[in-house]
Amino acid sequence: MAKVSIDLNMKRVTNDNFVEKAKKLEPKLLEKQVKPIKIVSIGDDGKVEPRADIGELDRISLKKGDSLVLDFGDHQVGYVSLKLKSVGSPQDAPAYLRLKFGEVPKEIKENSEEYNGWISRGWIQEEYIHVDVLPAWLHLPRRYAFRFLEIYAVDTSVKFQVVVEEVVCRAVSAVDMENIEPFSASDPVLRQMDKVSLRTLQNCMQSVFEDGPKRDRRLWLGDLRLQALANYATFQENELVKRCMYLFAGLTREDGAIGACLFTEPEYLVDDTFMFDYSLLFLSALKEYYEATNDKETVEELWPSAYRQIELSRMCFDERNVVSEEAGDSCFVDWKEGLNKQASAQAIYIYVLKDAIAMANAFGQEKLAAKLEEERKRCVSAALDYFWDEKQGVFVSGEKRQISYASQVWMILAGVKAGEEARMLLDRIVELKPEMSMVTPYMNHHFVEALNLCGEKEKAIDYMKYYWGGMLLQGADTFWELYNPDNPQESPYGSSAVNSHCHAWSCTPSYLLRKLTNEE
């Protein structure tokens, strides 16, 4: 887990004007009725096999110990209702059912009693329900993220059985896939990648840009920035981005620090988690919003909140213009266990300074832009002096001079190395294959951006086919929170049972593909 800053005694400040503007931008969710398309069996290895035609559903009776699994054909986010009846003798006891929802087949086979991860068991989508009187419609109050639903009869009685006559999901999202022009490509892998990316983004677009509709169902800043980029290239639901930006700026710590994530229920509330990189990237997200919308009024209003993140982050630098290791520890960057993030933190600060300079120039603040440019040069010089290892030809991080993909990628995105030097650096790190590899789609997205920045468009597309295409080969119909090609079941939580298999930061192929093919 990332060593983020958690302030349990923080004082929160609310900008009521910003929050009220955000409330007025809340979308009315679109609804669609979705029914299962198949009855299937799932093996212990997660393999899905057809069991019966969906038209036979109301002819299958469940006695104690029986079960059936319904396949909805694609990843759904919504509210489920079941129409149930009894057959046999009159119902002489409650029907006792277990309902288990799975984004992927493996979740259906997981035994929740064996779960011992550090994140809450409450995220496992499993319900035990008594139904006293049949027939009945059972309307489940929770919202689920799933493709598969297992209905298991824990107990009935020897006299009657349960029949599932009908199952309906009221799927919800802020956007409709039918309004999007599919990505045009001769390569079927790229077309499928775009389709799955769009579905991932759609199912994460709810009343805010959620990080995952299964878990955590919150607004995380790092996810929002990547979702927004994908949205600008596809759905263009820009008012939802605007709503989220106002929420982040309107719910802060007392010193103006923007939190890593927000809660929207039961009230709007900033969490007590703060990340050096996420707070800074609010400014980059604001710049990208301006480039996409030309909404000068909103950007000018939110600019002081964005610039405040630079002022706060500046306190983490020493007299050499080198960021502290503690600031690196409070970065996300990637889930990779043991990753030293000091060099990445330095690079991300420089990256954001570049965006701040562009914003200051765009709004006629030439003196501020010049001041920030001088600071950027000092930080670049410090990065080269402190983090560049001339002998090895790579950036290193921390006291142990760790080599990682993340350090090289962020230094390239920040412009510390550029042009042919940057291209050669990427080639070198790929050849070195350091132990500190990349495991999240979030980090892999930035690797592809670095390839593109170096003019390596073909390598960028080939890498996307390797990484996101690898999830497609695993059967993904939405892209995952975490994917390590060398260990597809890897989890930062102690068990993949609580991994999110529809996750915001993995949606960017829809953006990257359009960017890579549209740019000259």
Identify the CATH number of the domain in which residue 262 sits: 1.50.10.10
Spatial CA neighbour of 146 closest among 500, 473, 469, 482:
500
168 and 211 housed in the same domain: no
Dihedral angle over CA of 224, 225, 227, 228, nearest 10: 110
Give domain status of residue 304, yes or no.
yes
| Sequential DSSP letters for 294-313 | --HHHHHHHHHHHHHHHHHH
Residue 214 shares a structural domain with residue 168: no
pLDDT score recorded for residue 8: 64
Rounded CA gap, 213 and 200, in Å? 10
**Residue 363, both tokens:** 């709004």
Q: Could you tell me if residue 46 is inside a domain?
A: yes
How many domains does the structure of the chain reveal? 2
Q: Are 154 and 295 in the same domain?
A: no
- Per-residue confidence (pLDDT) for residue 323, from 0 to 100: 98
For residue 105, the SS3 value is: helix
- Cβ-Cβ contacts under 8 Å for 181 (sequence gap 6 or more): none
The answer to whether position 443 is within a domain reads: yes
pTM for the predicted model, two decimal places:
0.96
131 with 240, same domain? no
Q: Is the peptide bond before 216 cis (omega within 30 degrees of 0)?
A: yes
Task: Kindly state the tokens that stand for 470.
Answer: 């690898």
| 3-state secondary structure string across 255-289 | CCCECCEEECCCCCEECCEECHHHHHHHHHHHHHH
Is 160 in the same domain as 259? no
Confirm whether 40 is domain-assigned: yes
Task: Give the Å distances, CA to CA, from 185 to 192, 465, 479, 514.
Answer: 10, 13, 20, 10
Do the domain assignments include residue 122?
Answer: yes
Residues 117 and 252 both lie in one domain = no
Reference 168, options 289, 42, 249, 81; nearest CA is 81
Residue 364 sits in the same domain as residue 471: yes
Other beta carbons less than 10 A from residue 499's beta carbon: 26
What is the per-residue pLDDT for 316?
98
Q: Is residue 495 part of a domain?
A: no
State the angle between helix axes of 342-362 and 366-387 in degrees (0 to 180), rounded to the nearest 10: 160
Give the contacts of 80 (CB within 8 A, at least 6 positions apart).
101, 140, 144, 149, 167, 168, 169, 170
* C-alpha to C-alpha distance for 415 and 396, rounded to whole angstroms: 16
Helix (H, G, I), strand (E, B) or coil at 145: strand
Local structure of residue 134 (DSSP, 8 states): S
Instruction: Note whether residue 469 is domain-resident.
Output: yes
Domain limit, last residue, from 173, 202, 229: 173
**Closest-CA residue to 211 (of 442, 448, 470):** 442
User: Is 36 in the same domain as 18?
Assistant: no
Full residue range of the structural domain in which residue 202 is found: 5-28+184-486+500-518
Phi–psi pair at 369, nearest 5 degrees? -60, -40
In-domain check, residue 246 = yes
Where does residue 379 rank: exposed (0-12), middle (13-18), buried (19+ CB within 10 A)?
buried
Residue 35 and residue 24 share a domain: no
Taking the C-alpha atoms of residue 317 and residue 32, their distance in angstroms, rounded to an integer, is 51
Instruction: Give bridge partners of residue 170 from the DSSP assignment.
Output: 33, 79
pLDDT string in tens for the chain (520-residue length)? 444 566 667 899 999 999 999 999 999 999 999 999 999 999 988 899 999 999 999 999 999 999 999 999 999 999 999 999 999 999 999 999 999 999 999 999 988 888 988 899 999 999 999 999 999 999 999 999 999 999 999 999 999 999 999 999 999 999 999 989 889 999 999 999 999 999 999 999 999 999 999 999 999 999 999 999 999 999 999 999 999 999 999 999 999 999 999 999 999 999 999 999 999 999 999 999 999 999 999 999 999 999 999 999 999 999 999 999 999 999 999 999 999 999 999 999 999 999 999 999 999 999 999 999 999 999 999 999 999 999 999 999 999 999 999 999 999 999 999 999 999 999 999 999 999 999 999 999 999 999 999 999 999 999 999 999 999 999 999 999 999 998 888 888 878 789 999 999 999 999 999 999 885 4
Q: Are residues 269 and 395 in the same domain?
A: yes
Last residue of a domain, one of 120, 146, 173: 173
Task: Supply the pLDDT for residue 349.
Answer: 98
Pairwise CA distance, residues 36 & 56, whole Å: 12
Q: Report the pLDDT value the prediction gives residue 11, as an integer from 0 to 100.
A: 93
Q: Do both 14 and 109 map to the same domain?
A: no
